[in-house]
Chains A and B, each alone.
Chain A
């Protein structure tokens, strides 16, 4: 009974000793949910600093206080600092310029870039926008055919009173940045509302492939650069987000994340937190794309052989 009451602190000033055990338990909890150690330590240290010396108001359990503080901290991390209302932004741009709205998708190998590009495309078409899909993964076998298959399925939609979709491709082996530039020009000349650019997967520690992103950014001039990160990834999430955020040069960062494969991790969704935290830049705080993740998370509705009739 004594131990039980020790956990309650009413009208007491919290000390490091009061907080250590519940904070460590909370950190373990975050780690089990696949939050990267670096991010979990960051969150716990901040909460610790903010709670030491705080005078508790009433008869409260330390665990409850810690839990509430961690919750608030995570909420802050995940709340977008700038809104991502794609449709409104696209409309605004349409009014101002002839250049189509350009979105490019980047990320490491196999995370779901091409699939999520197709999901975004689906969303735009439903909103009656015309979309040019640019196949700028000129490396991985089958990458062009994969997009073509998605575009074929999606174009069946346009028969049903949705926007028009076309694939822009130049096969394999060519320079992706140049194709992206041509695609945007083609999109402008032919009056497309949006150009969606797929890129090849690349390791964030591959200097050569990462540095080619800077040229890509300069030539394609994307209005939005979205990075796909998969919920399955562990601690690598931190450097993935950081390195992609820095790859486009000093004046350009990521505009948001798409966290894919959330359906494969149960409640271990820590990647979201790790990536958000890692990509915080003082001048252009990143956001996660709440709008986009509202489209169904499973890729089945857009599958190759299944029609889009679901």
Chain B
């Protein structure tokens, strides 16, 4: 599971320190070093890790702490707060409402899991009583429409797409208009993979966005992404202004720190995680309980309210 190993290492780094009798400068530095290595090994952005190191050091200034301060507790709380900051952007994601049309557009890098995840999301809402459907605006990738069609058919979700139309702007506009007329609650638009280095692909994404006017744009990120996560997600944020993130392939071995760095870089919440290739391998995500569980610091979660 994503971040599980990281959680274990962070917990043991903090508890090694808090179990030792004296919290001196040397032990504290060793703990920070261990935490930073664990974060870098998990693909958290190198610059973010450097900032985190500084924040922890200045928040817990051992020399200036008075005798009455509970050092161990302060260290625990500071580490926890800094980690929560990484995954919790304090931004509420969009919540679709029944009885009106909610258009959701998917964007992301090539192969990140958009097509798979948009069927999962449609199925998720369908199971909760929404009338959901899918529009395939990927006219580029070979077999893209067949992929969406086969997924949608398996999940019994209505879909729209074209084998002959090559303009994704037109297909998406037509599809969304058709389903709006048919009064669907949730219309999910799948787009082809793209990256910031190809300017035309970004321009195309913005044209699709103008055509379908989404209530919510979601960026899909592969849990195994490394240091490129920050630059790519920032570029997508600037162009498509996505309001939520889905992290896929969390059933893999990767720790997910790259994808989490994208949250920090774009101040955008993770809403779902993909946990496998099958339709039901999909879970809602909330940062606070996630971190408490992950760090195995039951009582630490409580610290945040103090």
Contact = CB atoms under 8 A, between A and B. Distances in A.
B231 A266 contact: yes
Contact of A31 (B145, B151, B227, B249): B227
A108 B224 contact: yes
B107 interface: no
10 contacts: A38-B41, A109-B111, A142-B145, A232-B226, A233-B226, A236-B255, A263-B195, A264-B196, A270-B226, A303-B142
A284 to B, nearest CB: 24
- Indicate the size class of the contact surface on chain B: 35 or more
The A interface, classified by DSSP as helix, strand, loop or mixed, is loop
B109 interface: yes
The B interface, classified by DSSP as helix, strand, loop or mixed, is loop
A264 B109 contact: yes
Contact of A235 (B41, B151, B222): B41
A255 interface: no
Contacts of B151: 141
Given A111-B111, A140-B277, A261-B110, 6 more contacts: A142-B145, A142-B150, A146-B144, A204-B252, A270-B227, A271-B226
Contacts of B113: 109-110
Contact of B109 (A118, A147, A232, A237): A232
Interface in B220-275: 222, 224-229, 231-232, 249, 251-255, 257-258
Given A235-B43, A236-B254, A264 B148 contact: no
Contacts of A37: 37, 40-41
Contacts of A143: 143, 147
B252 A203 contact: yes
A235 B252 contact: no
B102 interface: no
A150 interface: yes
Interface string A206-245: 1000000000000000000000001111111101000000
Given A37-B37, A110-B111, A305-B166, A232 B141 contact: no
Q: Which of the listed residues A142, A230, A239, A302 has the most CB atoms from chain B within 10 Å of its own CB?
A: A142
A263 B149 CA distance: 29
Given A140-B147, A142-B146, A203-B249, A34 B228 contact: yes
B46 interface: yes
Given A33-B227, A266-B197, A305-B166, A234 B148 contact: no
Nearest to A110: B111
Contacts of A264: 109-110, 195-197, 228, 232
Nearest to B166: A305
- Indicate the size class of the contact surface on chain A: 35 or more
Interface in A231-279: 231-237, 239, 261, 263-266, 268, 270-271
B42 interface: yes
A263 B253 CA distance: 25
Interface string A185-212: 0000000000000000001111000000
B206 to A, nearest CB: 19
Interface string A21-54: 0000000100111101110000000000000000
Contacts of B141: 146, 303-304
Contact of A109 (B150, B197, B249): B249
A8 interface: no
Contacts of B209: none
A112 interface: yes
